[in-house]
Each structure stands twice: as C-alpha cells, then as structure tokens.
Amino acid sequence: MSFADARPDADRPTGAAEHGIGVGKQSYMLDEHGEATVETMRAVKQALDPEGILNPGKIFPE
C-alpha cells in the first residue's frame, strides 16, 4: 500500500510534519520525495554527521 492509499482524504499527503519522518514513515519517503531528493538528503546528513551518530537508523529507509 502506498502512502497516498493510506491517506485517501489528502490531495497530496506528506510523510512528516513538525517532528520529522520517524521510523513509522520511512517506507514512504522514496514515494513521496523521489530517489534524487532522498540521495540529496543523505548527502547533507553525511556532511553534517560523518560518523553517523545522530539518530542512527531514524531518518532514511534501509
């Protein structure tokens, strides 16, 4: 099931609000933002957190 199917009442659903993506919505991230955007997000995360110690496993789908 896609995120859009899970939220039939929304014209353009989003996976995150004011508190971030969270582990419960990781699987929708690629559908919502696309591969290029998620890769850009990963690059920014890597630049700011090269050791991967901030919220490991909490942002991006594996």
- Taking the CA of residue 37 as centre, how many other CA atoms within 13 Å lie in the half-sphere pointing to its CB? 6
Query: pLDDT, tens digit, for every residue of 7-60?
Result: 555 566 565 555 566 777 788 888 888 899 999 999 999 999 999 999 888 888
Strand partners, 17: 20
pTM higher than 0.85, yes or no?
Answer: no
Query: What DSSP designation does 58 have?
Result: S
Buried b (16+ CB within 10 A) or exposed e, 31-48: ebbeeeebeeeeeeeeee
Domain assignments of the chain as residue spans, ordered by start: 21-51
**Is residue 6 within a helix (H) or strand (E), and if so which, with residue range?**
helix 3-6
SS3 label, residue 46: helix
